[in-house]
Structure 1
Amino acid sequence: MEILLAMAPQGGDGGGSMMSTLIMFGAIFLIFYFMIIRPQQKRQKEREKLLSAVQKGDKVVTSGGMYGEVTGVEDKVVWIKVGENTKIKFDRNAIAAILNADGTTTSLDKK
């Protein structure tokens, strides 16, 4: 705060300082938008795209750490087989990662 006070013009006409303040706020907003908001929106769209592509037979990991295979897909719900005779109904958003056939993991969590 003291730095801002030291940078402020002393006395004289205050009209120019109002304009420079608005320009600074605009610049800060643009930096905030491009550094935080826009990348977050891209990650969210990518996550939604991957979740909508989940289909029967995919092996997944839930956010609770449960491993299983998708046996059924509904609008907002997936059925996951976690044992021989055990199927559990999960919200689609509970899927944290998709296990690929080659052993790699496609993580849906934010980084």
Structure 2
Amino acid sequence: MLDILSAAAASGSEPPFWVSMLPLVGMGVIFWFLIIRPQIRRQKEHAARVAALKKGDQVVTAGGLVGKVIKVDDTYAELELGQGVRVKAVKGTIGEILTPGSGAPAND
């Protein structure tokens, strides 16, 4: 009889499995709202800006080149970096679209 009571007391002191998993689930939720969700939103905004790219926009590439968009197609954008200097860039490497008046134009 004493063995049964001590076994019941030992098994009763251990929390259920779901209680021990609660901190891990909580950390997952915190990571989702603080890290993953904002990153997904930034990626969608960047994709929308690149999709709306048009001739005449001033852009900064991921490599730091500042230029004016001359021609745009599905995967590439032709940029004019200076007078007579043109390069073809993959649209995914365009990091930022500059607003007019945000600085001196790249071609001056």
Query: Which residue number corresponds to residue 31 of structure 1?
Result: 30
Q: Structure 1 stretches of 5 or more lacking a match?
A: 1-10, 105-111
What is the TM-score when the length of structure 1 is the normalising length? 0.74
Q: Structure 2 stretches of 5 or more lacking a match?
A: 1-9, 104-108
Query: Which residue number corresponds to residue 95 of structure 1?
Result: 94
Tell me how many residue pairs correspond in the alignment: 94
Task: Note the aligned Cα RMSD (angstroms).
Answer: 1.8
* CA deviation map 1:47-83 (0-9, x unaligned): 1111111110001111222121100101111000112
Q: Secondary structure at the match of 2:67?
A: strand
Q: CA 1:47–1:14 in structure 2 vs 1: closer, same or farther (change >3 Å)?
A: farther
State how far apart, in whole Å, the 2-side matches of 1:73 and 1:23 are: 50
What is the TM-score when the length of structure 2 is the normalising length? 0.76
State how far apart, in whole Å, the 2-side matches of 1:14 and 1:87 are: 73
Query: Which residue number corresponds to residue 70 of structure 1?
Result: 69
Query: Which residue number corresponds to residue 6 of structure 1?
Result: none
Q: 1:91: how far off?
A: 0.6
Query: Which residue number corresponds to residue 54 of structure 1?
Result: 53
Identity %: 32
Q: Secondary structure at the match of 1:16?
A: coil
* CA deviation map 1:30-57 (0-9, x unaligned): 1111111111111111111111111100
State how far apart, in whole Å, the 2-side matches of 1:77 and 1:14 are: 64
Q: Secondary structure at the match of 2:15?
A: helix
Query: Which residue number corresponds to residue 109 of structure 1?
Result: none
Give the number of the structure whose alpha-carbon radius of gyration is greater: 2
State how far apart, in whole Å, the 2-side matches of 1:93 and 1:58 are: 15
State how far apart, in whole Å, the 2-side matches of 1:59 and 1:27 are: 44
